[in-house]
Amino acid sequence: MKRFYLLIICLSLISGCATVGTKMNQENIAQIKEGITSQEEVIASMGQPYMQTLTSDGKIIMMYQYTKVKNRAINFIPIVNLLAGGMDMKQQILQILVDKNGIVEKYIFTDSNSDINSGLFNTQ
């Protein structure tokens, strides 16, 4: 029985979550003004983007992303995890369209929370 409790403690310490990117705050995003804010100002405020894409007409799409996935505790209960389990996901995506002059033309911010279900009782 001691080994079982030790196993549970070890699993809880090594498991947990996975994170990609840096969490964005509303104040930095609110400072972005379409037609006014420059690409350099965005980078100074938000840091380097996760990805940049050059469009066919010479514009730049800057993409910032934050994703955090966290295991649910039920995933670590033997047998039960086969029936019902899953993860919770928090995701933020900021896409900024920058014109040829280096000025923000448009931006879109998405902030979402999702459930990722697994197990026999969680399938649809």
| Average pLDDT of adjacent 10-residue blocks, the chain of 124 residues | 54 64 90 97 95 96 93 72 76 97 97 79 62
* pLDDT for the residue numbered 100: 96
Which letter, b or e, does each residue of 82-117 get, where b requires 16 or more Cβ atoms within 10 Å of its Cβ? eebbbbebbbbbbbbbbeeeeebeebeeeeeeeeee
* pLDDT for the residue numbered 80: 66
* pLDDT for the residue numbered 94: 97
Q: For residue 31, give the DSSP letter.
A: T
Q: Please, what is the Cα angle at 44 between 39 and 45, to 5 degrees?
A: 100
The model's pTM is 0.74
Distance CA 46, CA 32 (A): 10
